Amino acid sequence: MSDIKNTINTDEINKFSRLADEWWKANGKFKTLHKFNPIRLKFIVDQTITIFNCDEKSEQPLKGIKILDIGCGGGLLSEPLARLGAIVTGVDAAENNIKAARVHAEKENVDINYINGDIDSLNPLEKFDVILNMEVIEHVENTDYFMKSCCNCASDRGIIFMATINRTLFSLVFAKYMAEYVLGFLPKGTHDWSKFLSPEEVYSFLLKNDFSIRETLGVNFNPIKNNWSISRFTPANFMVLGQKN
């Protein structure tokens, strides 16, 4: 019997480890992430500024805000948030991802605390204002325990951003097969459709861990304009913002 506390999916870790050198290549294997990263980054920054009454006119509006980026990969979210003044900790179970993130952060002279490990590698006494759980939950094991651990990292009235892909026929066709096998937006085999979650399932994880739901938005690709945008359409990619009660 597997240890219920083990959230690491070895196959998933190995998959992303092999792609570690691709994180910061704008036209590489993660080019889709680079294209919609500004969309999710704006959502995170705008909501954080509003909830924590940050000085939006400042060059570093997130100064002093503690952020935990779970499954940080190569640091595509961690770095811009740190530049905005946030105190960022990035954790990833793939050692090669953390190595790539550290090298790039050092090159850009950005101070980020990167940790190679899973959610249990963190100091249980350390709390964060903002938890980022972006495109991660569909790649882990024991999602109940994983979400409980994520939520336990939040400070009083802390917030959590979650992004994943809805488990619908639409996402099977477009977010899985079209994106990976036809359009080449992602490496083949990046996602397992059976691990996708509906918004209601995400809500359930948050509610059972004493979080309220503040916002749900879809992240959609327009093949004609070749760009990403936020809308209320959630059958494929979507983001949820929750806040600790």
In a domain, 96, yes or no: yes
**pLDDT score recorded for residue 153:** 97
In a domain, 165, yes or no: yes
How far apart are the C-alpha atoms of 228 and 179, rounded to whole Å?
A: 13
In a domain, 62, yes or no: yes
Q: What is the mean pLDDT of residues 198-216?
A: 97
Residue 1 token pair:
């019997």
How far apart are the C-alpha atoms of 210 and 223, rounded to whole Å?
A: 39
In a domain, 5, yes or no: no
The CATH number given to whatever domain includes residue 115 is 3.40.50.150
**pLDDT score recorded for residue 1:** 33
How far apart are the C-alpha atoms of 152 and 126, rounded to whole Å?
A: 10
- What's CA 32's distance to the chain center, in Å? 14
pTM of the model: 0.89
Q: What is the pLDDT of residues 147-193, one digit of tens each?
A: 999 999 999 999 999 999 999 988 878 776 677 676 666 667 676 77
What's the chain's average pLDDT?
Answer: 90
According to DSSP H, which parts of the chain are helical? 10-17, 31-51, 78-83, 95-107, 143-152, 169-170, 199-208
In a domain, 3, yes or no: no
Number of domains in the chain: 1
In a domain, 92, yes or no: yes
In a domain, 76, yes or no: yes
pLDDT bin (cut points 50, 70, 90) of residue 215 is very high
pLDDT bin (cut points 50, 70, 90) of residue 8 is confident
Q: Which domain holds residue 40?
A: 10-244
In a domain, 204, yes or no: yes
Q: What are phi and psi of 35, to 5 degrees?
A: -75, -40
